[in-house]
Amino acid sequence: MSGLRKPLMLTGLQPSGPLMIGNYIGALKDWVGLQATHESLLMIADLHALTVPQNPEVLRRRSFEFVALFAACGIDIEKSAVFMQSHVSAHTQLLWVLNCMTPMGDLQRMTQFKDKAGRRAMDAQVGLFDYPVLMAADILLYGADLVPVGDDQRQHMEFTRRMARKFNSTYGQVFKIPATCTPRTGSRLMGLQDPATKMSKSDPNADNYVALLDPPEVIRRKIRTAVTDSGSEVRSGASKPGISNLLALYAAVSGERTESIEARYAGKRYAEFKNHLAERVIDFLGPIQKRYRSIAGDWVLLGEILRHGADLARERSETTLARIYEAIGLVTGRQDDRRISSPRGSTRGQPPDFPVPSPARALPKRRNAMGTEETKELSTSATAATNADAECLSDCCVCCCCDTEEECRMEE
């Protein structure tokens, strides 16, 4: 070990549908490679998944399925922390702080919101509208050096950077400005039935994607029925979105270059190409599915992975959250923690500048409107009086409790 801290990567996947081959090629494969050079925080974004309706049982089962599939795809749980977003409360705590700084107009302009809400923006859930703010909170909490996201998340990353700069310029340097990392071009797979739209795990039509756990016969059927284009040549091109997409899938699972695949299938029929592609995909997913089966039933292991990941994520995120709370003027300290942080600038042994009731202190007298003396209550809300009293004993002429300089001196 060099002793040097590796750069930190933070990334996530929503359990909004079964993990599918597009997620592997566009995300998981890169994460596996990045483990060698980065400390990795891999989040299962279950709170983000709630932005569209979820069946509770399915969501819970799928969340565990994701953990097992991450491991089966090569995520090394010794090197990477895998955690559930909902297990780390700092995410939603920072979400609120950022919400209070986010103009509605910024969120209204987000392409993903417009796409998902469609024409019924006013009927869309607030969570969907607020999705980018939670994403910004996820990222900024960890000061990640690298945040691999798909190109459809580019706008959300820009928003995150803008929020970080805005916060820093208002409250001081707290956030690191994150860099984006988008997958290499060509790694975006499109729907099998609709090559004009991205292959998505939450697609209601399961024939549009190949799930990582699809059995061989299902994979064969999905690829056999995938939409192709007019003509018969197995060639990539703008006028052939269906075949181009299948060629991209072939290239991804075989590691071959598209040109050499095209050359091999020159003069051959679509059906033959599709049959071979299906077998390639089955061979590619076979080892992942085998590893998955050996891990999936081990609830102790899966629970342990999540516990370990959440501990690491909490440790890091709570430190950042405390700095954020302090910067914006909140009194920091957990409810179960007797220590309350002292305010900025105060040093050990000196009183903090938030109200502290002091029963031992003599209550000052003050004159009321009738000219008679009354005892001034030192309530916890009388912060100003507490601070002014302290000044009264030093060099002021007339403090807030006394009407004349002489009276003030007598108090002293």
The residues of the shown chain that bind ligand AQP, judged by CB under 6 A, are 13-14, 16-17, 22-23, 25-27, 45, 149-150, 152, 187-189, 198-202
Q: CB of residue 331 vs ligand AQP: minimum separation in angstroms?
A: 35
- Cα(139)–Cα(180) distance, rounded to whole angstroms? 11
For residue 114, indicate whether it is catalytic: no
Q: Which is nearer to ligand AQP, 199 or 402 (CB)?
A: 199
For residue 198, indicate whether it is catalytic: yes
Q: Which is nearer to ligand AQP, 25 or 296 (CB)?
A: 25
Q: CB of residue 21 vs ligand AQP: minimum separation in angstroms?
A: 8
Question: b/e string for 78-104 if b means 16 or more Cβ within 10 A?
Answer: eebbbbbbbbbebbebbbebbeeebee
CA nearest 176: which of 186, 185, 164?
A: 164
- What is the number of the residue whose Cβ is closest to ligand AQP? 26
The number of angstroms, rounded, from the C-alpha of 389 to the middle of its chain's C-alpha atoms is 47
Q: Per the residue annotation, which of 6, 29, 79, 116 is the catalytic one?
A: 116
Q: Which is nearer to ligand AQP, 44 or 399 (CB)?
A: 44
Q: Do the beta carbons of residue 252 and residue 294 sit within 8 Å?
A: no
Q: CB of residue 149 vs ligand AQP: minimum separation in angstroms?
A: 5
Rounded (5°) CA angle 110-59-10: 55
Going by their DSSP bridges, the two strands 146-148 and 373-375 should be labelled as unpaired
Amino acid at 95: L
- Cα(29)–Cα(212) distance, rounded to whole angstroms? 13
For residue 240, indicate whether it is catalytic: no
Q: CB of residue 152 vs ligand AQP: minimum separation in angstroms?
A: 6
Q: CB of residue 380 vs ligand AQP: minimum separation in angstroms?
A: 46
Q: CB of residue 277 vs ligand AQP: minimum separation in angstroms?
A: 16
The number of angstroms, rounded, from the C-alpha of 28 to the middle of its chain's C-alpha atoms is 16
Strand order in the sheet with 146-148: 80-84, 39-44, 8-13, 146-148, 179-181
354 dihedral zone (left: phi>0; alpha: psi -120 to 50; beta) = beta
Cα distances (angstroms) measured from residue 3 to each of 34, 41, 312: 18, 19, 19
Q: Which is nearer to ligand AQP, 150 or 364 (CB)?
A: 150
Catalytic residues: 116, 198, 201
